[in-house]
Amino acid sequence: MSSPYFYRDSWVEVDLQSIKRNIEQLKRILPNGKKIFAVVKANAYGHGDIQVAEAALSSGVYGLAVAILDEAIKLRDAGIKAPILVMGWVRPEDVSVAIEKNIILTTFQKEWVKTAKQYVNGTLSLHVKVDTGMGRLGVRSKNELEELLMELNDKKFHIDGIFTHFATADEDNMTYYDKQKEKFNEFLNVLEQYVAHPLIVHSSNSAASIRFPNQMQDAVRFGISMYGLYPSPYVKEEKPIPLSPAFSLHSKLIHVKKLSKGESVSYGCTYTASEDEWVGTVPLGYADGWVRKFQGSTVLIHGKRMAIIGRICMDQFMVKLDNAYDIGTKVTLIGRQEEEEISVDEVADRLETINYEIPCQISYRVPRVYKENDQVVSRHNYLLC
Ligand SMILES: *Cc1c(COP(=O)(O)O)cnc(C)c1O
């Protein structure tokens, strides 16, 4: 592949080997026969949905889980044959698309089922969602579940699974988690009276899957830790399995100059050189997801930390250099250079947010480069495809 597929000097690297390794680590601790849904919503947490889905499927995951129907359609239209579950809301009038594309939807409202029935031509596969304490989606009482199941008792519907979602599986205190588990079991007892065929029962996100692998039902939903990140600082400390981060972000110096003492940098002149000093320009800015809050943080050049100075612009920012580096010198914003590393967690701390948000916020303007065993295997440019 000689064509570069992109024409800028900033890119995300996704190590597909790490994704596979993280799935292998989960499989090592899960009891035999448990299914894994690879959670690839939000463009696989910013890593690239199709590429991650294919890597995960080649590692033996059972299916894919996304948040919205459009994400599922994109994967199906890319030729992916595995089961795809939409975990979020889909309008009842859109169910025919799901049937046509063989996509499994989530249901939790009796009225939704009534309306959807009019649009079903064929059989719609569904997972029932129960709310055991997350307070987001799902039926909340046994009675509500019974009414939903009665409404679903129709050849137009195939109940393929039932699931719930934990609110605190990544925390030290297990009280709420245990309560949710207990409530889920009560729902499952009701279900048994209405559905004779086996269902895929699942409740666990990354946190629950890696911390309590022996408590899993039939399947788990593996999201953040498939990408090599721990769901919380608590789980990171507990470190139930070793994880390899897949995501890194890089750029290059595209301009280098010497500022004289007293000269300023960027909008508002918030930085003024206190001595003669070298400054480099990096072609990445807040429109790429490298937001203004990163002013004052550091990037890696030649394995050393260099400070971001002045306001971050839409397309560029400046760094203070300890030397006159060549144009084209690699700059790492997230990832490793020599002995030094800037982790997604560090960057998330800087923004006072969680690691989940960081790869998600690196925008469509930044091309993704896929590697396996240090070799580039493919590239994706969202602008030119
Ligand atoms: C996003 C999501 C997951 C994945 O959670 P992680 O913490 O990333 O593993 C699982 N289940 C549901 C319902 C989700 O929305």
pLDDT in tens, the chain (385 residues): 445 589 999 999 999 999 999 999 999 999 999 999 999 999 999 999 999 999 999 999 999 999 999 999 999 999 999 999 999 999 999 999 999 999 999 999 999 999 999 999 999 999 999 999 999 999 999 999 999 999 999 999 999 999 999 999 999 999 999 999 999 999 999 999 999 899 999 999 999 999 999 999 999 999 999 999 999 999 999 999 999 999 999 999 999 999 999 999 999 999 999 999 999 999 999 999 999 999 999 999 999 999 999 999 999 999 999 999 999 999 999 999 999 999 999 999 999 999 999 999 999 999 999 999 999 999 999 999 8
Q: Ligand 1: which atom is nearest the Cα of residue 67?
A: 15
99 and 136 Cβ atoms separated by less than 8 Å: no
> Ligand 1: distance of its center to the CA of 259 in Å?
48
**Exposed, middle or buried, 99 (CB in 10 Å: 0-12/13-18/19+)?**
middle
Instruction: Estimate to the nearest angstrom the gap between the alpha carbon of 302 and the chain centroid.
Output: 29
Buried b (16+ CB within 10 A) or exposed e, 35-44: bbbbbbbbbb
Nearest to 244 by CA among 2, 4, 12, 24: 24
Q: How many residues does the chain have?
A: 385
Residues 6+ apart with CB under 8 A from 80: 50, 53, 54, 57, 64
Q: Give the pLDDT confidence score for residue 385 in this predicted structure.
A: 83
Residues 6+ apart with CB under 8 A from 76: 84, 101, 102, 103
Q: Give the pLDDT confidence score for residue 5 in this predicted structure.
A: 83
Q: Which helix (H) or strand (E) holds 328?
A: none
CA neighbours closer than 13 Å in the CB half-sphere of residue 229: 23
245 and 347 Cβ atoms separated by less than 8 Å: no
150 and 143 Cβ atoms separated by less than 8 Å: no
The residues annotated as belonging to the active site are 41, 267
Instruction: Estimate to the nearest angstrom the gap between the alpha carbon of 290 and the chain centroid.
Output: 18
- CATH level 2 (architecture), domain 247-380: Beta Barrel (2.40)
CB atoms within 10 A of CB 269: 11
Q: Ligand 1: which atom is nearest the Cα of residue 226?
A: 9
Residue intervals in the chain for CATH 3.20.20.10: 31-228
> Ligand 1: distance of its center to the CA of 54 in Å?
19
CATH assignment, 31-228: 3.20.20.10
> Ligand 1: distance of its center to the CA of 313 in Å?
33
Residue intervals in the chain for CATH 2.40.37.10: 247-380
Give pTM, 2 decimals.
0.97
Six token digits for residue 299 = 């990037």
Pocket of ligand 1, beta carbon within 6 A: 39, 41, 87, 165, 205-207, 221-224, 231
Q: Ligand 1: which atom is nearest the Cα of residue 225?
A: 9
Q: Report the alpha-carbon distance of residue 274 to residue 258 in Å, rounded.
A: 12
DSSP 8-state secondary structure symbol assigned to residue 193: T
User: Is 314 marked within a binding site?
Assistant: yes
Q: Give the pLDDT confidence score for residue 1 in this predicted structure.
A: 43
In 3-state terms, what secondary structure has residue 339?
Answer: coil
Q: Report the alpha-carbon distance of residue 134 to residue 181 in Å, rounded.
A: 12
Q: Give the pLDDT confidence score for residue 4 in this predicted structure.
A: 59
Q: Tell me, what amino acid is at 214?
A: N
